[in-house]
Amino acid sequence: MSLDKRLGQRFLPYGANYLDWSDMHELREAIEQGVLFRYQTEGESVASRLERRVAGRLGARHVLAVHNGTEALRLALISTRPRTGDLVHIPAVTFVAVAGAVLASGLVPVLVDVDESLSLDPGLLPPGTERVITAHMEGTVAPVPEGIPYVVEDCAQALGAVHPDGRHAGTAGYAGTFSFHHNKVLTSGEGGLVVTGDPEAWATMRCYHDHGSARVPGCYPAWNPDAHYGENFVTSEGVAAIQYQQFRHLDELLAGLERQHAIAMEELPDRRDLRVLPRAAGDVKISLRFRWESRELRDAAVAALTARGIANWTLGKYLLPEHPVITGRRSLYADGFPWSLAPDGPLMLSRDGFARTRDLLDRTLCVPLSPELSEQDQVLAVKALRQTLEAV
């Protein structure tokens, strides 16, 4: 394999590079016991151990493991005890799963424009806003709006990030959600976590995620007299075991990202038509984000990087005002629920109709970093990147 291929192209995402059979003690234990359902284990389940480990690592009071990050968002929203059709303000730039979680909960998304960092702009939130989802996109820590009763931090791309005040991303609002999808910081293929500091919210989430039951490990689920309905979001021991193994490498992975980011800041070309977007100390530096003077230059850079086998991506796919799920307002319900409950007024908040945001996205390019590489190989990878960008 050529040097460019080995150093430039990420064949596996971040956490997948740390998957190792010799390190899968918890997974072997679960398989040897022959019990993969967390509530049937003889001793403490791996899922419970995972939740305790995450709580300690992130400084979270309560943690619940679920199937995926979208379910984690739904649980966080449902635990606020909303009315059907209530509004949830979400970033205009994020993955469509955020809007999907809102709609699947019987609520209505309102798209809020973003700032220069592509984080939700709190200055656009109207008085009386009750529910907001902020997204820490590309590992960049977004501000948490003040004075909002229910702020959910979507940390799918920012596991391990830290707010300026020292709190871990996911613990500064009402709840925080995490994803272990294949292309996340850590991975179990799928999988998710929801964290909260509110014991009542956690109790609601825990019941809802297991058919509304008051589960006692080792027993058939029981329902209290005041039980509400729920769904099955319970994680498996196999998935939790892989996540536990991944958590052992979180600090190592974050340190590798920090190291290559620092190398890149010293080595990248100084061009008047190219700017490297800054990263705060607490960001998870999963990528280098470049902003070009024009879309034409950005597209030329994409072509040059791709030709050399250097992984890269653009962010236009995250612009929700142009996503068919939002523009079409279609529903599988015959009456159009929950769109049928939406108010007549606009469900998008922007000072200029998202013109600035479209321009920012058109000129932005991301190149992933490779924490699993040695420092020497990281230097070589950055030099290959620099050479390619200089030639654009």
Euclidean distance between the first and the last CA atom of the chain, given in angstroms as a whole number: 25
Q: What angle do CA 21, 25, 27 make, to 5 degrees?
A: 80
| Residue 300: predicted pLDDT | 98
Nearest to 124 by CA among 138, 110, 136, 135: 110
The whole-number pLDDT of residue 11 equals 60
Give me the average pLDDT of each 10-residue run along the chain (392 residues): 49 86 96 95 95 97 98 98 98 98 98 96 97 97 96 98 98 98 94 97 97 93 95 97 97 97 93 95 97 98 95 96 95 97 91 98 97 94 96 96
pLDDT of residue 10: 57
- The full set of domain ranges for the chain reads 16-249+319-343, 250-318+354-390
| Active-site residue flag, 184 | yes
Write the CATH number of the domain with boundaries 16-249+319-343: 3.40.640.10
Contacts for 281-284 with beta carbons within 8 Å, 24 or more apart?
A: 281/162, 282/141, 282/161, 282/162, 282/163, 282/164, 282/169, 283/139, 283/140, 283/141, 283/158, 283/161, 284/136, 284/139, 284/157, 284/158, 284/159, 284/160, 284/161, 284/185, 284/254, 284/257
Q: What angle do CA 307, 357, 14 make, to 5 degrees?
A: 45
| Lookup result for tokens 């509110």 | 198
User: What pLDDT score was predicted for residue 345?
Assistant: 76
Secondary structure (3-state) at 315: coil
Which token pair is 372?
Answer: 């699993």
Of 184, 285, 317, 383, which residue is the catalytic one? Answer: 184
Judge contact between 57 and 325, C-beta under 8 A: no
The edge-to-edge listing of strands for the beta sheet with 274-276 is 274-276, 287-292, 364-368
Degrees (nearest 5) of the Cα angle 309, 357, 348? 130
Other CB atoms within 10 Å distance of the CB of residue 28: 11
Q: CB–CB of 159/249 below 8 Å?
A: no
| Amino acid at site 161 | A
| Domain formed by 250-318+354-390, architecture | Alpha-Beta Complex (3.90)
Cβ(187)–Cβ(13) under 8 Å?
A: yes
Question: What does residue 364 show for φ and ψ, rounded to 5 degrees?
Answer: -100, 140
Rounded Cα gap, residues 178 and 248, in angstroms: 17
